[in-house]
Amino acid sequence: MAIKPSSDGHLAINGLSLYHEVFGELGEATTSPLLLIPGSFMGTGSMKSWVSAFAGERTVIVFDQQGHGRTPDTPRSMSYEQFADDAAALLRALKVERADVMGYSQGGGVALQLALRHPALVGKLVSLSATYRKDGWYPAALEGIEGLNAAAFAGTAVEKAFKEHTPDTTAFDAYLEKMKVLGINDQNISDAQMRSISARTMVIAGDADGVQPEHALAMFRLRGGGDEGAAAAGMLEKAPAARLVILPATSHVGIFGESAVLAPMVSAFLDDATPSTPGLF
């Protein structure tokens, strides 16, 4: 059943009229709020299944990035760093001192930048089908972005949402071009920067994802993943430093539809649930 936000609306954030929604009451929950960051071209409405999966346990915040959903575009340039600064400004405007952050695809890249640029704001970090470097994508995924044009979005929810606040074809075309540049250029976070992130991290990808599995594994390793003690003992005795999930037969788009499978794993990570070990002998 769909749930309704307890509050929503636009806030003046870094030159944007940024739309956001809050599910639950900030400051009242015993758990940290969860900031969900949608992927490329996606708005808050696309996150309904994920909001529903988490809202019973924690307060959830979602927002529309620049030009996405109900946040109008501006002449301002686009970058993962700028989008992360927008997210940070939103949390501060909502008087959130610290939140767990989960981002999908482009949103996952923004979540990484948020953890790098504003570490005090980020408790735990979940990267869903995202990369920290351009070469983490299969080349074919980037080639697909290069081929995007207005015709591909004709009649879609993306075009409709944009033209509801900006009924200007040239403005929509300009937005698409900026998004193509953002997607093709991606970002370039160094290994040293990945190691420096203070937030405990969960990396999730599909085995048929646009994200190469080797890249997801590299992210996991850089975030402190791997436990030789557990390998020697055959069991985990404490919550691991980082967690890795690779879903079988799952594509970049397909993984977004797996909230029922992934939300319990993510919740266990956010709650620092102690891994259980069955008795064998």
Asked if pLDDT for residue 207 goes beyond 90, the answer is yes
Q: How confident is the model at residue 238 (pLDDT cuts 50, 70, 90)?
A: confident
Check residue 13 and give its pLDDT. 97
- pLDDT one-digit tens code per residue, 41-53: 999 999 999 999 9
Asked if pLDDT for residue 70 goes beyond 90, the answer is yes
- pLDDT one-digit tens code per residue, 2-15: 689 999 999 999 99
CATH number of 7-270: 3.40.50.1820
Check residue 198 and give its pLDDT. 95
Q: pTM score, two decimals?
A: 0.95
Residue 137: DSSP 8-state: B
Check residue 143 and give its pLDDT. 86
Check residue 274 and give its pLDDT. 76
When the pLDDT of each residue in the chain is averaged and rounded to a whole number, the result is 93
- pLDDT one-digit tens code per residue, 125-148: 999 999 999 999 999 988 888 888
Structure token pair of residue 20? 């956001």
Asked if pLDDT for residue 88 goes beyond 70, the answer is yes
Nearest CA to 83 out of 99, 98, 63 is that of 63
Q: Which residues contact 18 (CB under 8 A, 6 or more apart)?
A: 10, 11, 12, 63, 64, 66, 71, 86, 90
Asked if pLDDT for residue 78 goes beyond 90, the answer is yes
Least confident of 63-72, 193-202, 215-224, 236-245: 236-245
pLDDT above 70 coverage of the chain, percent:
99
Give the number of other CB atoms < 10 A from CB of residue 192.
8
